[in-house]
Amino acid sequence: MYIKRALEKTILEMQNSFPVVLVTGPRQVGKTTMLQKLADNRRNYVTLDDPMVRDLAVSDPELFLQRFKPPVIIDEIQYAPQLLPFIKMYVDRNSEKGAIWLTGSQTFHLMKNASESLAGRVGIVQLLGLSNSEIQKTSSTPFTTNPDQLMNKLKSRTPQSLQEVFKRIHTGSMPALYSQDHINVEIFHSSYVQTYLQRDIRDLTQVGDELTFLRFLSSVAARTSQLVNYADLAKDTGISSPTAKQWLSILVSSGMVALIQPYYNNALKRIIKTPKMYFLDTGLCAYLTRWTTPETLEAGAMSGAFFETWVAGEVIKSYLNQGKRPPLYFYRDKDQKEIDLIIHENDILYPIEIKKTSNPSREAVKHFRVLEKTGPKVGTGSVICLSSQLLPMDKNNWVVPAWLI
């Protein structure tokens, strides 16, 4: 069963502007399935996962493009970066919009190669796992704190209980877990780690000991929604801080982890400038941190961190699924004042607090006031929580159910 992706419209629009479209993202999030669905058998398809096909692409790129003529989908382009200059020559000769669709799951080197080789010729979008709106089969738009737009969403969204939200969090966002019946979540994530992450990351990092990297991955998962601390990650794993920094940057580039940068300007003197990290697939995060059921996760010590991670991930996806860069920041200062997320658009700051509660108090928005001294205008704020209703908290802030993101 195919679940329609919100990014489809953006890709179809992008192919009318660029000869090459590149879809990046982690393994198994549905990049190839989505493009094949959009192509509807009107394109050739080839995957560079096939060693013989890959050898042809690397050893004779020109012959490869003669054999697999555009319009074509080329899967896992990172395995043959030698193709990129020849793709450039092809599109320069033919001037055909949307001729070549590429996918890549290792964006660390791929983005640099693609942007250099295909400058001005390639449209690049990132696909993550399924969003809550995609699973519910409802329309997806970038998250906004605007109450009128949130009211409009109420018409198409189905309310979710605490138990339903944490089942979604524990399952994660991989399409295979929603398009097949009776699939074992733990076995799926175990296979995912072994088959994809360890192989792909080994290619990128030259990791000799896969168990060391798995410990690092688990350490990152255990610190989701926290400030990045390379020294602690290194200590947990038995590696150096520079290695921890390199490995985390690869997880970020591969779409496994998101870093949210702190918001600051010259008016803010006591702010903390360390980024905050979120593990983007909460199901994989739960597997790595050994929470085996939604019930134990919801009742456990990390339930608040997982809820915040899921909400942040949904907000990030809401922008990426429209082909937009998420304009997200957070705030924390040395006086322990903190704002979980800030949307910064059109020189207006929209503060967001994330609370695992169904009835947040006005204390939740008390730190929003620190933004009034920063210069930009402060817009409507949100407390995203487990409330069953969209309600005003005061004249400037609203209580927003998490299932409305």
pLDDT score at 388: 92
Whether residue 276 contacts residue 225, with contact meaning beta carbons closer than 8 Å, is answered with: yes
- Percentage of the chain beyond pLDDT 90 is 73
Using CB atoms within 10 Å of the CB of residue 111, give its burial: 0 to 12 exposed, 13 to 18 middle, 19+ buried: middle
pLDDT for residue 40: 86
What confidence score (pLDDT) does residue 258 get?
97
- How far does CA 337 lie from the centroid of its chain? 27
**Comparing C-alpha atoms, which of 291, 287, 281, 286 is closest to residue 312?**
281
Q: Where residue 181 falls among pLDDT bands split at 50, 70, 90? A: confident
Cα–Cα–Cα angle for 257, 303, 325, nearest 5°?
Answer: 30
Question: Residue length, the chain?
Answer: 405
> Would you state the pLDDT for residue 110?
62
Q: Mean of the pLDDT values across residues 104-114?
A: 67
Provide mean pLDDT across the span 235-246.
Answer: 92
**pLDDT for the residue 139:** 82
260 touches 227 (CB < 8 A): no
Residues near 348 by Cβ (< 8 Å), separated by ≥ 6? 376, 377, 378, 379
Give percent of the chain with pLDDT exceeding 70: 93
Comparison of pLDDT for 40 and 380, the residue scoring more: 380
pLDDT score at 206: 59
Tokens encoding 86: 């020849």
190-236 pLDDT per residue, tens? 999 987 766 666 665 556 667 888 899 999 999 999 999 999 999 99
What CATH number labels 8-126?
A: 3.40.50.300
**Nearest-10 crossing angle of helices 83-94, 107-117:** 40
Whether the Cβ atoms of residue 216 and residue 233 lie closer than 8 Å to each other:
yes
Q: What is the pLDDT of residues 41-95, one digit of tens each?
A: 888 999 998 999 999 999 999 999 999 999 999 999 988 888 999 999 999 999 8
- How far apart (Å, rounded) are the C-alpha atoms in residues 97 and 79? 24
Residue predicted with more confidence, 281 or 139? 281
What local confidence, expressed as pLDDT, does residue 372 receive? Answer: 86
Kindly calculate the radius of gyration of the chain based on its CA atoms and give it in whole angstroms.
Answer: 22
* Segment 3-15, tens digit of pLDDT: 999 999 999 999 9
Q: What is the pLDDT of residue 111?
A: 63
Buried b (16+ CB within 10 A) or exposed e, 59-96: eebeebbeebebebbbbbbbbbbebbebbbebbeeeee
Please provide residue 52's backbone torsions phi and psi, each rounded to the nearest 5 degrees: -70, -40
pLDDT at 123: 92
- Between CA 405 and CA 400 the distance in angstroms is 8
What's residue 334's pLDDT?
Answer: 86
- As a three-state string, the secondary structure of the chain is CCCCCCCHHHHHHHCCCCCEEEEECCCCCCHHHHHHHHHCCCCEEEECCCHHHHHHHHHCHHHHHHHCCCCEEEECHHHCCCHHHHHHHHHHHHCCCCCEEEEECCHHHHHHHHHHHCCCCEEEEECCCCCHHHHCCCCCCCCCCCHHHHHHHCCCCCCCCHHHHHHHHHHCCCCHHHHCCCCCHHHHHHHHHHHHHHHHHHHHHCCCCHHHHHHHHHHHHHCCCEECCHHHHHHHHCCCHHHHHHHHHHHHHCCCEEEEEECCCCCCCCECCCCEEEECCHHHHHHHCCCCCHHHHHHCCCHHHHHHHHHHHHHHHHHHCCCCCCCEEEEEECCCCEEEEEEEECCEEEEEEECCCCCCCHHHHHHHHHHHHCCCEECCEEEEECCCCCEECCCCEEEEEHHHC
Mind listing the pLDDT tens digit for each residue in 247-270?
898 889 888 999 999 998 766 666
Average pLDDT, the chain: 91
pLDDT in tens, 118-138: 888 999 999 999 999 999 998
What is the Cα–Cα distance from 204 to 301, expressed in whole angstroms? 34
Question: Within 10 Å of residue 135's Cβ, how many Cβ atoms?
Answer: 16
Residue ranges covered by each domain of the chain: 8-126, 132-404
